[in-house]
Amino acid sequence: MTKILYLHGFASSADSTKANLIDSFIKKNTKKTKILIPDLDNNIENAYHQIEKIILKESPSSFMGSSLGGFYGIYFSEKYNLPCVNINPAIPPLSMSQYLGENKNYSTGDKFIIDQKQLKEWNIVCNFIVLEFKYKFNYNIKK
């Protein structure tokens, strides 16, 4: 069975309109594909580790992401050499500094904090993607 790991965007949830539409489409149109739609943690570092655990447990065959989920999809597709389809992905160089401090999840209403530690981890992942693109495609992403 094919497994697609869908990763939602920043301050969104597994219950977003996009996630529900994708889930519905997959279920209606195929019997051989399972769509995994986790509710990603609002904390950037926690979300990263959450995605890693899901990948190791579920062994998806591909990724699909939207916005920040597309960014995660790019990163993990490079890391695990799996295909990724994105909807309007957030791509580096992407600064999350405007979200430093308290934020509100658009989908759930939950409040959460983005701190300097998360931004540092974010920049590490951004740099990885930039280096991968330079190496694989001889493509220079300007920072």
Residue that wins the pLDDT comparison between 24 and 142: 24
Checking if the pLDDT of 141 tops 70, the result is no
Once rounded to an integer, what is the mean pLDDT over residues 19-44? 95
Q: CB of 74 within 8 A of CB of 91?
A: yes
What average pLDDT does the chain have? 88
Rg of the chain over Cα atoms, rounded to whole angstroms, equals: 15
What pLDDT does 136 receive?
A: 64
Q: How far apart are CA 98 and CA 119, in angstroms?
A: 10
Could you identify the residue written with the tokens 């579920």? 58
Query: Pairing relation of β-strands 111-114 and 101-104?
Result: antiparallel
The model carries a pTM of 0.82
The residue among 55, 23, 56 whose CA lies nearest residue 37 is 23
**Cβ within 8 Å of residue 102, ≥6 positions away:** 111, 112, 113
What pLDDT does 55 receive?
A: 98
The alpha helices in 2-43, defined as continuous H runs, are 17-29
Alpha-carbon distances, residue 51 vs 29, 58, 77, 123 (angstroms): 26, 10, 12, 17
Q: Which amino acid is at 136?
A: K
Secondary structure element (H or E) that encloses residue 44, with its range = helix 44-58
